[in-house]
Structure formats: structure tokens, C-alpha cells
Structure 1
Amino acid sequence: MASEKKGPVTFLKSVGQEMKRVTWPTQKELTRYTLVVLATLAFMVAFFYVVDLGISELVQLLL
């Protein structure tokens, strides 16, 4: 198999076959995943805001 020369057409056919095997998420799953990502992002933003605020206050106390 390593000695075979495969061109771009063969590659693209293989890609097409693999894409047919992909299990795509349903609308409900996609919505749920999106909400999880947005909630995680909101939590991380709030967490780092509080940490930054705390560090800023600590630095102000030391100056």
C-alpha cells in the first residue's frame, strides 16, 4: 500500500466516503452543546474578572 501512488482525486473520494460515515448532531444536541459552551464561557469570564479584581486590590494595598 505504501508503494501505491494516490492522487488528489483518490484522496477526495476517500474524504467523501468518510464524511458519509460521520454522525452529525441533531438540532436539539447542537443547541444543548452551544448552551453548555456559552455557560462555561460566562463562568470563566466571571471567574477571571473576580480573580483580576482581587489581584488588583491586593496590588493597591501593597503600593
Structure 2
Amino acid sequence: MQRLTKFLRNVVREMKKVSWPKRKELTRYTITVVSTVTFVAVFFAVIDLGISSIIRLILE
């Protein structure tokens, strides 16, 4: 039990040292990540459709 208490105290101490992003930074980072993921998903969807169409044309 003492080890757990000591561990949790150390966790709290370390969490206070963390440099948390400000709200504006966090919003900017979130928008960047969401837009990048969306772009990559659309890109691969288009590539997949193109490759599927080419394969369908070859097989027919």
C-alpha cells in the first residue's frame, strides 16, 4: 500500500511539471490533426477507387 501511495504522489508531482498547451494552441493542434487525417483518408479513398476501377477494367 505504501508503494502505491508513493507512486501516486510521484505521479501528481510530475504532472505539475508538465507544460500543458494553452487553449489556442490546443485548438490549432486539433484542427491540424483532424484536417490531416481527413486529407489522408480522402486521398487513399480516391487512390483505392482508381485502382479498383483499373482492376475492374482489366478483368472484364
TM-score, normalization: structure 2? 0.89
Partner of residue 27 from structure 1, selected from 17, 23, 29:
23
Taking only the aligned residue pairs, the percentage that are identical comes to 50
What do the CA deviations read for 1:17-38 (whole angstroms, capped 9, x no partner)? Answer: 0000001110000000000011
Where in structure 1 are there 5+ consecutive unaligned residues? 1-5
After superposition, the CA RMSD in angstroms is 1.1
TM-score of the pair, normalised by structure 1: 0.85
Spell out structure 1 runs of 4+ moving beyond 2 A: none
Q: How many residues of Structure 1 are paired with residues of Structure 2 in the alignment? A: 58
Q: Of the candidates 39, 47, 50, which is equivalent to residue 46 of structure 2?
A: 50
Structure 2 unaligned blocks of 5 or more: none
Give the structure with the larger helix fraction: 2
Q: AA paired with 1:53? A: L
